[in-house]
């Protein structure tokens, strides 16, 4: 008996101007650096609950209109995306939990930020320049089970 499997892929917008991509919950296996070469929406990206692996490219052209990134529950390693010096004023949600990310957690300045989940990784420090100014009053933050207590 053959069982057909439906792949969840949601793209909101025209094929030339996709604003939202949701690839979550599919068991995809691909290097995250390769994926980000082809998938870079303007508004929201979720690749959570798959088997994406590898490290983020340290220089990536994130769209300034970006509102949410969800990379939770994969096999990602190495440093978190480097947002230092980027202007992402609309970023509201950043989900990095349950990977094997290491090092500092560089966060972009974002005045509308609502939540950060970065638990169960190996982060060692927060960027104090952005943390106190933009993130200390966010609605939800979970940083437990990292290499050191972060907050």
Name residues whose C-beta falls within 8 Å of residue 97's C-beta, 6 or more positions apart in sequence: 72, 73, 117, 118, 119, 120, 121, 142
Name residues whose C-beta falls within 8 Å of residue 149's C-beta, 6 or more positions apart in sequence: 143
Determine the pLDDT at residue 151.
55
Q: Quickly list DSSP for 5-44.
A: -PPP-EEEEETTEEEEEE--SS----BHHHHHHH---SSE
Determine the pLDDT at residue 35.
93
Determine the pLDDT at residue 148.
67
Q: Report mean pLDDT in 10-residue bins for the chain, 151 residues.
A: 41 58 93 90 93 92 91 96 80 94 84 89 82 77 80 55
Determine the pLDDT at residue 149.
60
């Amino acid at each position: 008996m053959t069982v057909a499997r439906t792949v969840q892929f949601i793209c909101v917008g025209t094929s030339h101007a996709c604003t939202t991509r949701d690839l979550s919950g599919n068991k995809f296996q691909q290097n995250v650096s390769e994926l980000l070469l082809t998938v870079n929406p303007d508004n929201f990206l979720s690749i959570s609950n798959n088997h994406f692996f590898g490290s983020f490219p340290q220089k990536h052209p994130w769209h300034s209109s970006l509102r949410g990134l969800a990379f939770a529950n994969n096999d990602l390693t190495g440093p978190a995306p480097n947002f230092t010096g980027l202007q992402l004023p609309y970023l509201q949600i950043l989900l990095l939990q349950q990977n094997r990310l290491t090092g500092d957690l560089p966060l972009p300045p974002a005045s509308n930020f609502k939540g950060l989940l970065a638990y169960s990784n190996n982060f060692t420090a927060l960027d104090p320049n952005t943390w106190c100014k933009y993130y200390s009053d966010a609605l939800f933050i979970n940083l437990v089970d990292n290499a050191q207590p972060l907050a």
